[in-house]
Amino acid sequence: MDKGRTEAFSDGVLAVAITLLVLDLHVEATEGSLAGQLRRNWPNFAAFLVSFFVIGVIWVNHHGLFTLVTEVDRVLLFENLALLMFVTTLPFTTSTLAKFLPGGGPDARWAVLLYGVSNIGMAVSFTAMLSRIVHHDLLASPVGPGVGRRAVRRFGLGTIAYPIATAAGLLWPPLTLIAIGALALYYTLEQTQLLPGAETS
């Protein structure tokens, strides 16, 4: 199957999801000073920045992933749908986290868990997509098995790191934003680079 429709559909979903994040940012002229509202609503702005960065990095790496292939198969399409499903949950889990973060307690931990599930799901889905491309002859320029395995391991770090970030947030909820922001930064550097001919065995 041609990859063009998959990329176009994915771009549309990612664009909508990243736009929806901003809907929870607002101030009211009747609720005190602007500076005071910005100070009180810091969780909304912090969660927005992290989630915007997360979706933005996904979009960049999704584009990078699809430059490696000339066509997609049915399994890859469903893996891509799974990725997009978790992406579309991020506006909801972001706003929930921002709402319950200041109060702490069980509700904040549930919010951390929901936010973590969104990020873990995206990490697992993206890693599954890369693995499918590497191991099922979908690469435009095939690479050696060792190169492919190392690329999947490097990029698949999130399947371990995001659960750890979520667990850390259960101990101290703000830590989940710090940890997931740091992981997004990691993925700005890890770009699934698979160089043709780098290894032949």
Taking only the tens place, the pLDDT of each residue in 7-36 is 999 999 999 999 999 998 877 777 788 888
Distance between CA 74 and CA 4 in Å, rounded? 14
- Calculate mean pLDDT across residues 53-73: 92
CA distances (Å), origin 8, targets 82, 132, 134, 169: 16, 20, 22, 35
pLDDT at 56: 96
- Calculate mean pLDDT across residues 166-193: 90
- Residue 193 banded pLDDT, cuts 50, 70, 90: low
Closest to 98 in 3D by CA, of 188, 19, 23, 171: 23
Distance between CA 76 and CA 86 in Å, rounded? 16
- Residue 198 banded pLDDT, cuts 50, 70, 90: very low
pLDDT at 194: 55
Q: Is 2 helix (H, G, I), strand (E, B) or coil?
A: strand
Q: Is the pLDDT of residue 116 over 80?
A: yes
DSSP 199: -
- Residue 164 banded pLDDT, cuts 50, 70, 90: very high
The reported pTM is 0.89
Q: Is 69 helix (H, G, I), strand (E, B) or coil?
A: strand
- Tell me what the pLDDT averaged over the chain comes to: 89
pLDDT at 199: 45
Closest to 59 in 3D by CA, of 93, 24, 1, 19: 19
pLDDT in tens, 93-109: 999 999 999 888 999 99
- Calculate mean pLDDT across residues 55-67: 93
Q: Is 144 helix (H, G, I), strand (E, B) or coil?
A: coil
Q: Is the pLDDT of residue 121 over 80?
A: yes
Q: Which residue has the higher pLDDT, 147 or 62?
A: 62
pLDDT in tens, 123-150: 999 999 999 998 888 888 777 777 778 8
Give the domain ranges of the chain: 4-189
DSSP-assigned beta bridge partners for residue 69 = 139
